[in-house]
Chains A and B, each alone.
Chain A
């Protein structure tokens, strides 16, 4: 089945450590996205990539970094500069601008 795989489902880190969240898709979609979701809130865009080797900042990019070396993969690094990293992180992809985003099942990151 085609889809988006995010791993791990739960991740725990100590404050001051960088952590990388994995996102892989086999939908052959060009565009990929990272969103952050906090309790009781909607989704906020962190980074997005329309094509391999290119990506743009979203609304809340500070403290995060991404890479897009392969079409299938769009890992997100949460750096120690991110002040409130504990959240539910969602990766998504889309075929083109006018197609709905398909989401993975998220990674819940807890930083203590």
Chain B
């Protein structure tokens, strides 16, 4: 079936650096994408989303880029802080009548060193 995957399972950065987390998706019908942050023992926390009619969206210190040509999604975190250390998941909605049925990637572990 269709799935969402990640290029890198772990990412280590120094505090203050910019982080880029990548995600590949295979379902060309997907029209809505979300990034979540999950800290240990907690539920995923919404970071930012983007619809397929856009290729870039910015939030506070985060930017999501969508390249539909190569089916690639990325999350950029500016000036990464130790509090950003967590597992990051991308998720896609396959479109049609899929009411909120998100397909999640396996996650990338981000570690920020002081």
Contact = CB atoms under 8 A, between A and B. Distances in A.
Contacts of A18: none
B46 A48 contact: no
B23 to A, nearest CB: 11
Nearest to A94: B100
Consensus secondary structure, chain B interface: strand
B99 A40 contact: no
A101 interface: yes
A107 B89 CA distance: 19
Contact of A97 (B45, B99, B105): B99
A48 B43 contact: no
A94 to B, nearest CB: 4
The size class of the interface chain B forms with chain A is 20 to 34
Contacts of A61: none
B46 A100 contact: yes
Given A102-B46, A103-B44, A106-B43, A48 B100 contact: yes
A104 B106 contact: no
A25 interface: no
B38 to A, nearest CB: 9
B60 to A, nearest CB: 16
Interface string A37-59: 00011111100101000000010
A105 interface: yes
A6 B41 CA distance: 13
Interface of B: 4, 32, 34, 36, 41-46, 49, 51, 89, 91, 93, 98-102, 104-107
Interface of A: 4, 6, 31, 33, 40-45, 48, 50, 58, 90, 92, 94, 96-106, 108
